[in-house]
Chain A
Amino acid sequence: MDKTKPEMTTLLNTTTMYQPSGKTLISKKNISGAEAVILSLIAEGVDTIFGYPGGAIMPTYDALYHYMDQVRHLLVRHEQGATHAAQGYARVTNKVGVCFATSGPGATNLITGIADAMIDSTPMVCITGQVTKELLGTDAFQETDVVGISMPVTKWNYQVTSADEIPEAIAKAFYIAKSGRPGPVVIDITKNAQNEMMDFEYQKCEKVRSYHPYRKLDEAKLDEAAEIINNAVRPYMIIGHGILISEAQEELKAFAEKTGIPVASTLLGLSAFPNDHDQYVGYVGMHGNYGPNIKTNECDVLIAIGMRFDDRVTGDLNRYAKQAKVIHVEIDPSEIDKNVKTDVALLGDAKEALKSLIGRVKEKTYPEWLAEFAACDAEEKRKVIEKDLAPTTEKLKMAEVVNKLSELTEGKAITVSDVGQHQMVVSRYYNYLETDSNVTSGGLGTMGFALPAAIGAKVAKPDRDVVAIIGDGGFQMTLQELGTIMQEKVPVKIMILNNSFLGMVRQWQQLFFERRYSFVDIESPDFIMLAKSFGIKGEQVSKREDLETGLKNMLASEESYLLEVIVEKEDNVFPMVPTGASVTDIRLE
């Protein structure tokens, strides 16, 4: 040992790279690594696993067999489904979603969902089997470099090659996945590690020395932010997923009501602030509401909380909120000044930040400023919403379908939308009145997300209505998960908005490629017959007068139910901020 070097470990008062809590939750002598995996998950409070077995993870599945009474495992039909289901589970509970997959193809099938969880900050732990240690690097049967492949899309990943590493690796995985800005973690466990015997002792991880998920908020910056807010004339707040992640809904409401500031939401922030609140002005982004988009360039103070200025929100950055003083409340230091230059960065947890701000801000109201938003709403209503909701066309429009669903569920269902026009319509027309109700793939825009994600959401929240709203295209990407719904009897409601097109791409081809419809015309199977073959009831609705009954039938069903709604083929989603345009240039038609 080199005695001349100072040991950082002692200096920083941590004994190892990772610091266990010191409280042993479970201990058991002489068990297999595989059993240790299961016991570790149980110690972390895991009650649900989404997975698919195979050679390299068989020992772990064998161990699971003995704990079936303590953990529910859902056999998905494709590993991608496992990840999205775990995401759905995580998004409505803020708990860590868990997936199992075997090595090679099992693990590579997880990648889309892992990437999705990474970009949408969703806590997830994926456990993959791996070939035995001696075979690593030999192109053994079903060997892929999962750690290498998943590295760019994981918050952390680690390969376990001996049983005694298992509890520490899993403890660290859960801690990292859940804390700070959440994200996916992959733990790849070689087969020998699953088979080896060990003495098991589980302690939760409380600290990793190279990882600082939470920062103390800077008092001076809080004062500075409060002063800016107190002197603002046209302050505007955009909230994101961070509110839901930090569970800051109450604090947000209190802060908003005290300051009187108008609140808009990003796509992933939807349902964090009730849609019927006087100060709620709508949602921002490419297909967001008119007022919230253009007012971004008219406010004098922009308070962004738990959002990351995605390009779909900002449009052209050179013409985004340049006039405003920007206050960015954000937990991830790398997001500060990444896209939008901030005047005051409040680095820390959104809930803590709001708690610390509320005592510093003055009670105010902005009736005139809010009235400006209302004027925009009136214009949007006239030019877009009225046409969408009271169409003169014969065919149903997606908007009226979603609006009716919203009415019938009183804004209290969990909507799980897929990707495309219908997704934008859901975010525009579902009237969220309850929190944690919007599950969708935002950052990655993964078609095929909704059906498996809805399974995860429903399993996590059996008492709530969970409605998957999916396009005819996206449904065909993961429709095999109907098998999971059948076998596990998950009563998710599935609503397919069938426009016989890859609608969103078609819309772009119409608007920006002179109607050259290049491979967006998509045929579908008979969805009702398909559902039936999985033992799932369903019906098709194409007439306006049948819509309400169809929706009611779906909602009333005790079991899963598939409602296919035939909608207008060539409908477009407006408003729209074309790519590269400024939010000010939002088009209403």
Chain B
Amino acid sequence: MADDNCIQTRDLVKDYSLGQQRVRALNHVTLNFVCGEFCGVVGPSGSGKTTLLNIMGSLDSPTSGRAIVLDRDIASLTHKEAAQLRNHHFGFIFQTFNLLPVYSVFENVEFPLLLLGYPASERKKMVLEALEWVKLTDKEKARPNQLSGGESQRVAVARAIVKKPKIVFADEPTANLDAQNSRHILNIMQSLNRQLQTTFIFSTHDEKVIQFLRRVVTLEDGRVTDDRVIENSGSES
């Protein structure tokens, strides 16, 4: 199971055109992620981390090259198929939390299950379980604007993992959090990775995150300059 190919990219290129100019955000990126990985993409600002995550997450399509995610070629998906793929198999965590402001904590976490058409009783069970993981059962009725940053991101984590997706993409999940909250979030994600075999792919330039990673891919100017597996990572401190 853990050896299954989850994501493969081959010569992935992404160009953005800014007026006349063309910006190459990804420059022939070839990577391989197996299921159950806990991997971070690091690199300076503008190196293409977000772009890479977005393409792998089927939110964007490459200019050339291929991204095969869960046996699907991202470039060939229709909008609907891409939405379906995200719906069933992907969870997203954003730097700015992106909770739905009009929904309560419970409803925010419930939302992906509604999209998947789970019956109410099952939804309730799954949402409470997810809130248990992130230790927020006491806040299920709160609104996003009543939460601290750390709590908001925990809700976002619960929302991303409630449907037990194959892959969670987290674009700088700790950039807006202090050290303690960052560690808390990472501990949660790490234990979910172990318990549920969920693949986590981060982008970050946060040292605190890097300590937790089992693999670090370094991007610079859209190119992979380093890719290493870290032994004995994730001190549960």
Say whether A and B bind each other: no
Chain A residues within CB distance 8 Å of chain B: none
Interface residues of B (CB under 8 A from A): none
